[in-house]
Amino acid sequence: GQSLEQPSEVTAVEGAIVQINCTYQTSGFYGLSWYQQHDGGAPTFLSYNALDGLEETGRFSSFLSRSDSYGYLLLQELQMKDSASYFCAVRRGGSQGNLIFGKGTKLSVKP
Amino acid sequence: NAGVTQTPKFQVLKTGQSMTLQCAQDMNHNSMYWYRQDPGMGLRLIYYSASEGTTDKGEVPNGYNVSRLNKREFSLRLESAAPSQTSVYFCASSEAGARQYFGPGTRLTVL
């Protein structure tokens, strides 16, 4: 079977750093993606890791360890607008690039 | 450049009624996808189309059919709607990669 585990909720204060973990168990693993979704909105792409290590995009960074079947999303200098749900998603490969999504982590940023 | 568009935005059906959800993308992407999102369940893949003329089942295809009308358009049909199909439906497209672009969603209620 395939499964992704991530915390259901995380709370942090403005300006802080928060890490959202994701562990996965799946066949045909090609890489790990992260998506952000605000309430009532559509998911939007944040990052993708195909290889082990850290990818940085502005205030957001994503990490992957293939040997540990583990990744995380790191959000720095938190802002109120970062309050949203964050989904990790495994890319299972092939030309179609199918994704299997985790259930999401709801991040609440407090003033 | 509208990205991915979906119609309708909202729909209420009675059990047993049929309807088609429309999706179009203007990014010249080969791959298109239909997901459903239920509270606490993340996004689950219903059907996908790796390229024009091909469609394949995802995780939860039962009760749905799809048509890849051309490269731009990918429709999802509910032949006989059931209350269990009450959900938010998202269409997405990608160019064979981990980055998928999502439409705004269709909020469907089946009574």
Helix (H, G, I), strand (E, B), or coil: what is residue A27?
A: coil
- Buried b or exposed e, range B32-67, using 16+ CB within 10 angstroms: bbbbbbeeeebbbbbbbbbeeeebeebebbeebebe
Instruction: From B81, B1, B78, select the one nearest B34 (Cα to Cα).
Output: B78
Asked if the C-beta of B72 comes within 8 angstroms of chain A's C-beta atoms, the answer is: no
Omega into B83 within 30° of 0, i.e. cis?
no
C-alpha pair distances (Å), B14 with each of A73, B21, B80: 41, 16, 9
CA pair distance A36, A105, nearest whole angstrom:
10
B30 contact partners, CB below 8 Å, separation of at least 6: A95, B50, B51, B52, B71, B95, B96
Asked if the C-beta of B34 comes within 8 angstroms of chain A's C-beta atoms, the answer is: no
Closest Cα of chain A to B47: distance in Å? Answer: 10
pLDDT at residue A1 greater than cutoff 80: no
**Residue B99 with chain A: CB contacts under 8 Å:** 33, 45, 48
Helix (H, G, I), strand (E, B), or coil: what is residue B76?
A: strand
Partner residue opposite A33 with nearest CB, options B44, B98, B103: B98
> According to the model, what pLDDT value does residue A93 have?
66
> According to the model, what pLDDT value does residue A26 have?
85
**Residue A91 with chain B: CB contacts under 8 Å:** 98
CA pair distance B55, B52, nearest whole angstrom:
8
pLDDT at residue A96 greater than cutoff 60: no
Asked if the C-beta of B2 comes within 8 angstroms of chain A's C-beta atoms, the answer is: no
**Residue B46 with chain A: CB contacts under 8 Å:** none
Partner residue opposite A42 with nearest CB, options B30, B40, B104: B104
Under a CB-based contact definition with an 8 Å cutoff, are residues B33 and B98 in contact?
A: no
Minimum Cα–Cα distance from A47: chain B residue: B99
Average pLDDT over residues A6-19: 97
- Two tokens at B68? 């890849």
Instruction: From A72, A96, A75, select the one nearest A24 (Cα to Cα).
Output: A72
Per-residue model confidence as pLDDT tens for chain B (111 residues): 789 999 999 999 999 999 999 999 999 999 999 999 998 788 999 999 988 989 999 999 999 999 998 999 999 999 999 999 999 999 999 986 779 999 999 999 999
Asked if the C-beta of B26 comes within 8 angstroms of chain A's C-beta atoms, the answer is: no
Give me Rg for the CA atoms of chain A: 13
Cβ–Cβ of B43/A87 closer than 8 Å?
Answer: yes
Helix (H, G, I), strand (E, B), or coil: what is residue A20?
A: strand
Partner residue opposite A48 with nearest CB, options B48, B90, B98: B98
Minimum Cα–Cα distance from A89: chain B residue: B98
